[in-house]
Structure 1
Amino acid sequence: MTINSYGNTADTSVAYASPQKRQAQRYLQKVTWIATFGGLLFGFDTGVINGALLYMKDDLGLTPFTEGLVASALLIGAMLGALCSGRLSDLKGRRRIILFLAVLFFLGALACALAPTLNFMVAARFTLGLAVGGASVVVPAYLAEMAPSSIRGRIITRNELMIVTGQFLAFTTNATLGNVFGDLDGVWRWMLALATLPAVALWLGMLYMPESPRWLATKGRFREGLEILKLVREEYYAKAEMEAITQQISNERFIKKGGWRDLSQKGARRIFLIGIGIAVTSQLTGVNSIMYFGTQILTEAGLEQRSALIANVVNGIISIGATFVGIALLDRVGRRPMMLLGFTGTTLSLLLIGLVSVFVDPSVTRAMLILAAMAMFLACMQGLIGPAFWVLLAEIFPMRIRGGCMGMAIAAFWLTNVMIGMFFPSLVATLGIGQTFFVFVGAGLLSLTFVAVWVPETRGSTLEEIEQRLYG
């Protein structure tokens, strides 16, 4: 026996014998892989700066402050991109906005690769950030609205898999280019230019993808929405799901125009603030201090620059492996338990990095201990917190304003990211690595408390059931 999209049991042999079901599954996989090229770009463009900064320092005359500025310019753009794209996707549609973001990804990556000055680089990274922020909102929302409830967690988490795959590709290409062509001028430009290729793939692929059926339903286009549901469900389940969507839309009487006034009800405000909290705590772990500055942390710990680039690839491999574990666990264990276990693991890892940095002198041994702690951290972050975080934000908000609410929550995610990216190099220069990571330990304990007290469980429920339970 297995569970269908609505939580009912069905005979597995019959379900898998259905040609219509197999066709629907194949089409859903196609939609998922193409849309998640947005996640791949998200990961590559945030991870590539990790190694590229080492080579652009001299060319652009970077100081510790301007290094942080280059890293955080993308994050500031991502914050604005998340805020705007969520609302725009509610108005114009998920697919149309993803197509627009693909163009921004291409132009932003090309501008970064050609940047002649620091100011130009900051502007280019900001433009690229608009696309990264937009993808971080619209792609999970699109996937959540296409997927059946029984596998929604696994489908949305494919985007997390593509994010960490993008980061791994960035680390790998940085290490390859740095070790083979590191003596050539401008090698960092090639590191940054590679991001144009998946941007083209995303744009071409989304030309042939359908619009979100739930978004179409919110615009009164129920027949079109049903036809798209039939592409990714068996016909019987597609019709039943559209009936549930139609009923839920008619019940959303508190919805006004898809803006701040929609949060006037107490229940809506509470869930919105929980969404903000989920987004902020996921970044207070300090994950992007490792993603953006991991190579520099390892060089300061005692590794040579090229060895640090290679060692940092290990972080990418662990992130990918951990995400596969997260995909397997998400629809079995649940979102909340994964976040609790994840924050426990990341906080202990950060404590270990801080202790090693304080009590072990710079050496290969110190670098290896820190690398091991980073590996433990990333296993917990990418395998437990990351998958649950993205899925929860795509699930807990009401249908008509899902994009807008996700946009505001993920804007808070990027604002936290901005603060870390901007001030981490200066904080390390002032306090040292150890004391800086002790600050993250304190933030991890606060995050663990927040999840234990406030975060709801959504596993196994349809989006409409979640909305009824959380909003009444």
Structure 2
Amino acid sequence: MTLLSLKEDRPTPKAVYNWRVYACAAVASFASCMIGYDSAFIGTTLNLPSFVKEFDFPSYSPDALALVQANIVSVYQAGAFFGSLFAYITSYFLGRRKSLFVFSLVFLLGAGIMLAASGERGLAPILAGRVLAGIGVGGASNMVPIYISELAPPAVRGRLVGIYELGWQIGGLVGFWINYGVNTTLAPTRSQWMIPFAVQLIPGGLLFLGVFWIKESPRWLFANGQREEATKILCWIRNLEPTDQYILEEIEFIDRDLERFEREVGKGFWKPFLALKQPKVQWRFFLGGILFLFQNGSGINAINYFSPTVFRSIGITGINTGFLTTGLFGVVKTVLTIIWILWLVDHIGRRRMLFIGAAGGSLCMWFIGAYIKIADPSTNKSGSMSSGGIAAIFFFYLWTAFYTPSWNGTPWVINSEMFDQNTRSLGQASASANNWFWNFIVSRFTPQMFLKMEYGVYFFFASLMIISIVFVYFYVPETKSIPLEAMDRLFEIKPVRKANKTLMAELGFHDDAIVTSEDASVSADEKPHGHLETRQSV
């Protein structure tokens, strides 16, 4: 298979893989830019000399300072937890597109309030603003993966949802570097720390403006009886005529799926909650939550939010050196995320990447923890790095290389695609809330963990990554290339490790369905459409 080879569930006209679906995904992913930036900039901003001086951090004891910093970071995750739940309500009544409008507005309001903070007013505006900003990003983190997955052709669904993750990394890259920039170019005045806070308004504003251009999800419109508008938007996104065989089949698949769930679950705001009585639905909600437990249990958000603390534990001293090391961490994550989007997620698959990421990442964490235990770099006052310290830095970046193309974005992809139409919004709300809940736990207690556990923090994260391998092997099926309407069948097939291959065979997939960019140029009229009868058995 080549880089651009795709595994399709059915013959697909080249026109389907057009710029419109990518553009809609990219615009919606401005939400992840603001999430990524907020996650990255706050940890280093708290260590800027101007911020430390403005809010008199030297007067705090170590324990009190750890608590203050943890509160500043974690109120954002607390707001995001509730925002991800609010998104279910807005999604049901307003749709995906209008929900993004609402949450981008809330985020901009929160970001604006933070700018009112000062030494005289105290930290209250920052705390209040981060709660509102958290509500905004929590709701957006629920909506964007759903929105993109409902627009995407199955063969590139992972790649398109991956754009959401890429936006997260681009925002994080800016967030990691901005404090290095202001610390090396600006005097330690109020303006120095205000600039990182003000930059939040850029991705939030771009999302707010972009919402006026993107289209509503056709699947949501079909589910709400707006068939004419849904068909019009679907044809626009696919760049095909309403009479094209591909469009007719896709509408039939959506209708059949909606009819089945109206029969089994029923329509209404509360009906998906009633569906939670079904063990098969409960199981997928559980899987979504546990995936985010293991994602946060890898240690990523401890590093995102408190990178200066993490690098100090390895032995890196000096504000600019710590900021530079953090910035390089952001570069590695962004580059590997691009590789993940272009190739890994839709070719290597979800399960295999989770295995590789957890196994390799765990080994790196064991090494770093062992180095800190043996060398105790906190006692090194010379400021120079030993050979062991350099090796620890190498393993830290190696851990980043394992983690980024695996656990960083893959749980979002799986959660965006594994729920049926009637429970997708509620399921994504649950998954997103789980993400922000575990995110809150990590951000709230990381400073205290480093104070009390020291090297044990790395052993803790390494152990959780090993456990995740066992969990994924036995319980998480491969969702790559499976149509959304066939996900119920995928989760019925045992053993889990063979579910994807078995279902693709049921759908009529054969090795000759692997297409390249050259094959895709064949028109829909030149390709057989006999797969429709095969799909009806699902």
User: TM-score, normalised on structure 1?
Assistant: 0.93
**Residue 352 (str. 1) matches residue 367 (str. 2):** yes
Pairs within 5 Å for 1:326-345: 326-327=340-341, 328-345=343-360
Q: Which amino acid is 2:328 matched to? A: V
Q: Deviation per CA, 1:287-337: give whole Å up to 9, x if none.
A: 111111112322452321111111211111110111122111111111111
> Structure 1 counterpart of 2:255, which letter?
T
| 1:202 Cα offset (Å) | 0.9
Partner of 1:120: 125
CA contact (8 A) 1:95 1:211 kept: yes
The 1:114/1:378 distance shift into structure 2, 3 A limit, reads: farther
Answering whether residue 419 of structure 2 is matched by residue 397 of structure 1, we say yes
- In structure 1, what is the equivalent of residue 439 of structure 2? 417
Give me the whole-angstrom Cα distance separating, in 1, the residues matched to 2:348 and 2:296. 23
Contact 1:115/1:124 (<8 A) preserved = no
Give the Cα–Cα distance (whole angstroms) in 2 for the partners of residues 248 and 140 of structure 1: 20
Structure 1 residues without counterparts, runs of 5 or longer: none
Matched, 1:302 2:303: no
8 A Cα contact 1:90 1:401, kept in partner: no
Is structure 2 residue 264 aligned with structure 1 residue 250? no
Compared CA separation, residues 404 and 311, structure 1 to 2 (3 A): same
CA shift, 1:364, in A, is 2.5
The equivalent residue for 1:135 is: 140
**Partner amino acid, structure 2, of 1:441:** A
- Counterpart pick for 1:71 among 52, 65, 73: 73
Partner of 2:47: 54
Residue 110 to residue 8, structure 1, CA distance change in 2 (3 Å)? same
Identity %: 25
Shift of 1:194: 0.5
Report the CA distance between 1:367 and its aligned residue.
5.2
Q: Which has the larger radius of gyration?
A: 2
1:215 equivalent in structure 2: 220
Q: CA separation of 1:417/1:261 partners in 2, compared to 1, >3 Å: closer, same or farther?
A: same
Are the counterparts in 2 of residues 60 and 118 from structure 1 also a CA contact under 8 Å? yes
Q: 2:364–2:399: 8 Å Cα contact kept in structure 1?
A: yes
What is the identity, as a one-letter code, of the residue corresponding to 2:43? N
Give the equivalent residue in structure 2 for 1:316. Answer: 330
52-61 vs 172-181, which deviates more? 52-61
String of CA shifts for 1:13-49, please: whole Å, max 9, x gaps: xx55xxxx17x61211211111110111110011111
Structure 2: which 5+ residue stretches go unaligned? 58-64, 493-537
User: What secondary structure is seen at the aligned counterpart in 2 of 1:291?
Assistant: helix
Q: Does 1:292 align with 2:305?
A: yes
The residue that corresponds to 2:25 in the other structure is 32
Contact 2:272/2:422 (<8 A) preserved: no
TM-score, structure 2 as length reference: 0.82
CA RMSD of aligned residues (A): 2.1
- The one-letter amino acid of 1:314's match is L
- Asked whether 1:443 is paired with 2:467, we answer no
- CA shift, 1:5, in A, is 9.2
Aligned equivalent of 2:475:
454
With over 3 angstroms needed to count, the CA separation of the structure-2 counterparts of 1:57 and 1:453, relative to structure 1, is farther
The equivalent of 1:99 in structure 2 is: 101
Deviates more, 1:217-226 or 1:368-377: 368-377
**Is the Cα contact below 8 Å between 2:87 and 2:99 reproduced in 1?**
yes
Does the CA-based 8 Å contact 2:371-2:389 persist in structure 1? no
- Count of paired positions: 462
What pairs with 1:118-267 in structure 2 (closer than 5 Å)? 118-233=123-238, 234-235=240-241, 236=244, 237-252=246-261, 253-256=263-266, 257-267=270-280
Q: Which aligned runs of 4 or more in structure 1 are off by greater than 4 angstroms?
A: 1-6
Amino acid of the structure 2 residue aligned with 1:453: F
The amino acid of 2:116's aligned partner reads: L
Instruction: Quickly say closer, same or farther: Cα 1:121–1:102, change in 2 above 3 A.
Output: same
* Deviation, structure 1 residue 386: 2.2
The change in CA–CA distance for 1:294 and 1:222 in structure 2 (over 3 A counts) is same
Cα offset for 1:467? 3.1
Shift of 1:133: 1.1
CA distance in 2, matches of 1:323, 1:9: 29
In structure 1, the residue matched to 2:449 is: 427
CA drift of 1:148 comes to 0.4
Moved more, 454-463 or 119-128: 119-128
Of 21, 44, 56, 2:37 maps to: 44
How many angstroms apart in 1 are the aligned matches of 2:351 and 2:114? 39
Q: Give 1:238 shift.
A: 2.2
Give 1:88 shift. Answer: 2.4
Q: Distance in 2 between matches of 1:386 and 1:126?
A: 24
Q: 1:226 to 1:470 in 2, by over 3 A?
A: farther
